[in-house]
Amino acid sequence: MYMNITNHYNNITSNKLFFSGLAIIGVLLSHLIHVDENNPAWRIFYPGFVGVDIFLFYSGYGLCRSFERNTLKEFYARRLKRIYPMLCLFTIATYAILHFLQRKDFTFFDVICNLTALNFWSIGGIKAEWYLCFLVYLYLLFPVLYLFIRKGNNKTIFTAFICLFTFLIIHQDGWFYQCAFSRVPIFLLGILCYQQNDARTYTKGMLFFLIAFILMTVLFIGGIVQKFELVYMAAPYILFILAWGCKSIIKKQARTFNIINFVGKYSLEIYVANMLILQIIPYLNFQIPIALTYFISHIAITPLLIGCNSILKRL
């Protein structure tokens, strides 16, 4: 049994693009609930937003490799090159939508706040999404988090996980921070798994998330947290189930595997396209089902973002 767990864990850690592809597909499907509210069938995809948790697990895991192989200056330069072009594109497009479609006013200071991720703290700008600006702060804090986990032992780390998780949950203010801070433990688990490089670490992490789920249930009953935050605690289990369910696809590495890998390669661009489409789709009035409009919009916008991102990275 332990060998099976080890094999599934190895599949998780060695197939980042594949699982990132599945994750972004889950995110797109989960947002159908907001796009087509009159169709209850889309509720089956509700847990798909756990795909963001999978992104953050791989972010924590992958950042360790980058941090160890580069100087601190090179590390931050690479992170800036990774996230900032998409942050700029999203900001420009969002304010264009704000001006031309929503007919709302904004200031130059608002734009600066979004470009610098200061909008995350409500200093200025608009909160059109939380993930990109939260990544900026996770990148900035990563060396501290990496060294903290490296110097601790498992017992200390998981105790810290629980304390941090409890503090963040109780001190949240609105969905924006609920979405962000509730994902900190899965990011830390990614760091821990890289450093320990052992399937047992992942299973211990799953135990932590079970404890966290029980804690969340108590907080949910007390009216402190929202229902969707309970789903976050299933992320390590969902990722493990995906590894088990897709083992034959991963082993064969045939066309399906390659397609999902391709989607995973551009998961960030697809995510940004999704956030923009959620803003503009209320203004689209095509004579086709709204769900079809939703997916066609992704096919149209994502290649543009991929191209623009490629150009900006070369500057």
Tokens of 273: 């396209």
Amino acid at 92: I
* Whether the Cβ atoms of residue 312 and residue 89 lie closer than 8 Å to each other: yes
What does the alpha-carbon distance between residue 271 and residue 175 come to, in Å, rounded to a whole number? 18
pLDDT at 263: 97
pLDDT at 213: 85
Domain tally, the chain = 1
* Lookup: tokens for 289: 């089902």
Q: Is 226 left (phi over 0), alpha (psi -120 to 50) or beta?
A: beta
User: What does the alpha-carbon distance between residue 239 and residue 1 come to, in Å, rounded to a whole number?
Assistant: 18
Predicted pLDDT of residue 10: 94
C-alpha 153/C-alpha 31 separation (Å) is 39
In our burial notation (b when 16+ CB lie closer than 10 A, e otherwise), range 203-215 reads bbbbebbeebbeb
Domain that holds residue 161: 2-314
**Helix (H, G, I), strand (E, B), or coil: what is residue 289?**
coil
**Residuewise pLDDT in 10s, the chain (315 residues):** 556 889 999 999 999 999 999 999 999 999 999 999 888 899 999 899 999 999 999 999 999 999 999 999 999 999 999 999 999 999 999 999 999 998 889 999 999 999 999 999 989 999 999 999 999 999 999 999 999 888 876 666 666 666 666 666 655 567 788 888 888 889 999 999 999 988 988 998 898 888 888 888 887 888 777 777 788 889 999 999 999 999 999 988 889 999 999 999 999 999 999 999 999 999 988 889 999 999 999 999 999 999 999 999 888
